């Protein structure tokens, strides 16, 4: 479908394209003109989500930036549109309305409305709402209290009594003001990228619109604060209990460590084990050193004793010397012990006793020397050493040996004590580390729980700060109603209906497989189109002229066909065929006969005998019995008789080929086959197969004649007649050359 066909289609259905959209727009106006007006109010709330102050810590160290702010605003919007919020707002608004109704004055009588349409609109406007139907005067009086708070309490209590009471039905009805569905008109949105939240609402009543937003703001802020304040209570309770248990475990571990230290007399195990190890090692080293010194002194003393024994000094072994030696050794040992005690615990008594022991040791040494000197009077030893010197050395070595012997004994005791202390501390190391590990684990757990408790309390405090919503722009009382959208709806309805209807017509035209257009008909039927006949009704003067020109055009096409006549000794026979009845064969035959008669061409029309009751026969019209033409060998002369002359055009109308018996024996006698087809029908497979079979029987060309073609397609087929540029001039033909001879 090209642009020209598109505009033709719209022009053809212009009345439908105009009437249906206008009706739609009128219907929209009729049904929306009595719609109650609505009033819009809004309020702006500051949230502080994106740029508000928050305490560092808690959930603020790992904030999600823009995503976190978007999530917080989504939470706010969801809380505003929550079902529980809307229900509470409806109930509080109902309580306010009950108080307003109780204080209101009786309404003035309404003047009668004249006119049918006006009365219909008034009835619609005065229709009772669910608020008026479900709440009778007795129930309103029962719910109304002396104050607004008391009325609100009664309304909330009555709503929770049964799930099917009047208030429950009102909240879940379609009431324009006091139903949950009415609050879906609340539109909440964030103001660009700011911390502000805008809430809009439209309602049929201006005062109720403002009051609804006020109540919604109060309920929303209260629920938001309760949500933010209480959302960390469970977390704080968990961390508080966990911190308490961790503190108890820490105290138990520390008490266990204290009891262990008290039991084993430990102040600091690490320092004590280090000191014990060092003391044990020092005692062992000093003991080894004293043993070495004692061994050297003992060897020297033994050598001196051997030398003296060779000289016969046997009196050295007398009881006096031995007693003094033993006494000296005992005193030296006491001196060593006293010195060690004084080093550990210095005092005046210890120093006096040490001085007395040293004086006694000196006295014993002197006595031993005197005793030894008195027993030897010799001046020289066998080796050339004076006996007096040997005895002096012997006395000194004996004193040193006694001193070392005492120190070795004392150091042995000190070494054994240090080793015992070390051996006692070593096995306690594993138990000390175990207890310390228990204390460390308990301490870490306690610190971790305290950190969690701290973060939870910080988050709770941040929630308290974030929940401090403030109304920046309170709801206002709208003074003017919103502009109605009736005109917009009418325009949208008109354009929508026009486009939808136009699209339907275009789609139907594109899917149309009828034979209205001659070019399309020739393509579909695969038969050439000889001519077209216009619809006989609803034609203006120009269209009637074009229809007449189409008939003349078909007659002129026959004149061209006559020039192709190959049998000059026989009449020119035209067969008018169709697949079905009502295709316009008779009209086509009459049109052809009329056109040929105007051209002074003798014409004979043969019609089936079932047409005899429709019009009378004359000298150019005859009727035949189609059954007689079924047998092979039938000729046109059998039907036309003497009228079948060579200068005559015989037009034979065949019965419907798919519905009745037709004279098939006449098909080879035809010189031209014209197929009459209604232009408003499609070409089927049966039609195509029928005329394919007829092509095998006759050699005559088969061409289409479209009947009932639209005027614009007629003009396309025969061409548009050009208007003369000036006054019409009548041209006379020259006289025939033989005209004078004939005269």
Torsion angles phi and psi, residue 202, rounded to 5: -125, 140
CA angle 318, 324, 329 (to 5 degrees): 125
Q: What is the DSSP string of 393-460?
A: HHHHHHHHHHHHHHHHHHHHHHHHHHHHHHHHHTTHHHHHHHHHHHHHHHHHHHHHHHHHHHHHHHHH
Q: For residue 574, which of 599, 610, 605, 595 has the smallest C-alpha distance? A: 605
Express each pLDDT in 681-709 by its tens digit.
888 888 888 888 888 888 888 888 888 88
Contact between 199 and 183 (Cβ < 8 Å) = no
Nearest to 602 by CA among 639, 648, 635: 648
DSSP string for residues in 246-309 = HHHHHHHHHHHHHHHHHHHT-S-HHHHHHHHHHHHHHHHHHHHHHHHHHHHHHHHHHHHHHHHH
| Residues 643, 109: Cα–Cα separation, whole Å | 96
Nearest CA among 638, 653, 656, 649 for reference residue 608: 653
Give the chain's residues under pLDDT 50: 58-64, 105-126, 312-317, 377-382, 384, 724-726, 728-733, 736-743
Q: What is the pLDDT of residue 597?
A: 83
3-class secondary-structure state, position 620: coil
User: Which residue matches tokens 């001193």?
Assistant: 403
pLDDT at res. 628: 80
Nearest to 73 by CA among 212, 214, 185, 192: 192
Distance CA 376, CA 159 (A): 135
pLDDT confidence of residue 646: 74
% helix, strand, coil for the chain, step of 5: 60, 10, 30
State residue 379's pLDDT score.
Answer: 40
Bridge-based pairing of strands 648-653 and 187-190 is unpaired
CA proximity to 314, closest of 400, 397, 389, 376: 376
* Cα–Cα separations (whole angstroms), residue 479 to 141, 502, 532: 31, 43, 70
- Phi–psi pair at 446, nearest 5 degrees: -65, -40
Q: pLDDT tens digit string along 607-630?
A: 888 775 566 556 778 888 888 877
Contacts of 240 (CB under 8 A, 6+ apart): 453
| Model pLDDT for residues 65-114, shown as the tens digit of each residue | 567 778 888 888 888 888 999 999 999 999 999 998 888 744 344 344 44
Contact between 535 and 710 (Cβ < 8 Å): yes
Sign of CA pseudo-dihedral 266, 267, 273, 276: negative
pLDDT of residue 31: 82
Domains of the chain by residue range: 1-35+484-512, 36-104+115-235+464-473, 298-426, 514-719
Q: Identify the pLDDT of residue 54.
A: 52
Predicted local confidence at residue 253, as pLDDT: 84
Look at residue 375 in the predicted model and tell me its pLDDT.
Answer: 56
**Cβ-contact 126, 107 below 8 angstroms:** no
**Amino acid 380: pLDDT:** 46
Residue 526, both tokens? 């695969």
pLDDT at 213: 92
Q: Is 35 exposed, middle or buried (0-12, 13-18, 19+ CB in 10 A)?
A: middle
Structure tokens at 652: 């034979």
Class of the domain covering 514-719: alpha beta
């Amino acid at each position: 479908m090209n642009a020209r066909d598109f505009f033709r289609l719209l022009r053809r259905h212009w009345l439908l394209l105009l009437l249906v959209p206008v009706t739609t727009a009128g219907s929209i106006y009729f049904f929306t003109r009595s719609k109650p007006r609505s009033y819009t109010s809004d309020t702006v709330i500051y949230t502080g989500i994106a740029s508000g102050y928050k305490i560092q810590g808690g959930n603020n160290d790992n904030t999600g930036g823009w995503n976190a702010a978007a999530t917080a605003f989504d939470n706010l919007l969801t809380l505003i549109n929550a079902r529980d919020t809307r229900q509470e707002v409806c109930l509080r608004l109902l309580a306010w309305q009950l108080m307003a109704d109780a204080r209101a004055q009786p309404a003035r009588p309404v003047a009668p409305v004249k006119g049918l349409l006006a009365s219909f609109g008034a009835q619609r406007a005065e229709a009772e709402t669910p608020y008026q139907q479900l709440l009778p005067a007795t129930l309103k009086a029962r719910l109304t209290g002396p104050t607004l708070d008391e009325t609100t309490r009664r309304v909330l209590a009555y709503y929770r009594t049964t799930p099917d009471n009047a208030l429950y039905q009102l909240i879940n009805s379609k009431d324009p003001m006091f139903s949950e569905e009415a609050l879906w008109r609340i539109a909440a949105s964030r103001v660009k990228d700011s911390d502000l939240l805008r809430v809009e609402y439209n309602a049929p009543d201006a005062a109720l619109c403002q009051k609804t937003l006020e109540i919604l703001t109060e309920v929303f802020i209260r629920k938001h604060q309760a949500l933010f304040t209480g959302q960390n209570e469970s977390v704080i309770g968990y961390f508080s209990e966990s911190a308490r248990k961790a503190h108890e475990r820490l105290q138990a571990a520390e008490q266990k460590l204290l009891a262990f230290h008290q039991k084993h007399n430990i102040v600091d195990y690490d320092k004590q084990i280090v000191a014990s190890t060092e003391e044990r090692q020092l005692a062992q080293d000093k003991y080894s050193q004293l043993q070495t010194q004692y061994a050297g002194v003992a060897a020297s003393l033994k050598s001196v004793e051997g030398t003296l024994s060779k000289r016969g000094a046997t009196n050295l072994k007398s009881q006096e010397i031995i007693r003094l030696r033993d006494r000296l050794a005992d005193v030296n040992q006491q001196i060593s012990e006293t010195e060690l005690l004084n080093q550990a615990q210095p005092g005046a008594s210890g120093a006096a006793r040490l001085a007395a022991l040293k004086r006694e040791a000196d006295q014993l040494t002197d006595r031993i020397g005197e005793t030894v000197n008195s027993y030897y009077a010799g001046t020289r030893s066998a080796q050339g050493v004076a006996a007096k010197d040997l005895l002096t050395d012997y006395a000194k070595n004996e004193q040193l040996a006694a001193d070392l012997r005492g120190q070795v004994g004392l150091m042995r005791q000190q070494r054994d004590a240090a080793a015992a202390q070390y051996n006692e501390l070593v096995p306690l190391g594993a138990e000390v580390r175990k207890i310390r590990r228990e204390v460390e684990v308990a301490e870490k757990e306690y610190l971790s729980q305290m950190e969690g408790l701290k973060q939870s309390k910080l988050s709770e405090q941040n929630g308290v700060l974030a929940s401090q919503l403030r109304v920046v722009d309170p709801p206002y009382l709208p003074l003017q109603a919103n502009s109605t959208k009736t005109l917009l709806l009418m325009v949208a309805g008109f354009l929508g209906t026009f486009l939808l209807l136009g699209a339907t017509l275009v789609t139907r035209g594109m899917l149309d497989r009828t034979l209205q257009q001659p070019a399309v008909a020739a393509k579909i039927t695969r038969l050439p189109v000889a001519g077209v006949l216009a619809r006989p009704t609803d034609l203006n003067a120009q269209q009637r002229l074009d229809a007449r020109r189409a008939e003349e055009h078909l007659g002129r096409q026959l004149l061209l066909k006559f020039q192709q006549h190959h049998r000059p000794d026989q009449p020119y026979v035209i067969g008018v065929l169709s697949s079905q009845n009502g295709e316009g064969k008779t009209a086509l035959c009459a049109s052809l006969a009329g056109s040929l008669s105007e051209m002074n061409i003798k014409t004979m029309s043969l019609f089936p005998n079932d047409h005899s009751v429709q019009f009378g026969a004359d000298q150019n019209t005859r009727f035949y019995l189609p059954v007689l033409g079924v047998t092979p060998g039938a000729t046109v002369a059998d039907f036309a008789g003497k009228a079948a002359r060579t200068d005559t055009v015989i037009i034979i109308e065949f019965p419907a080929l798919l519905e009745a018996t037709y004279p098939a024996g006449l098909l080879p006698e035809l010189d031209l086959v014209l197929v009459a087809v209604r232009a408003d029908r499609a070409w089927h497979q049966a039609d195509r197969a029928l005329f394919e079979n007829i092509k095998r029987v006759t050699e005559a060309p088969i061409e289409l004649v479209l009947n009932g073609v639209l005027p614009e397609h007629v003009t396309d087929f025969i061409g548009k007649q050009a208007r003369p540029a000036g006054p019409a001039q009548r041209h006379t033909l020259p006289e025939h050359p033989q005209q004078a001879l004939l005269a």
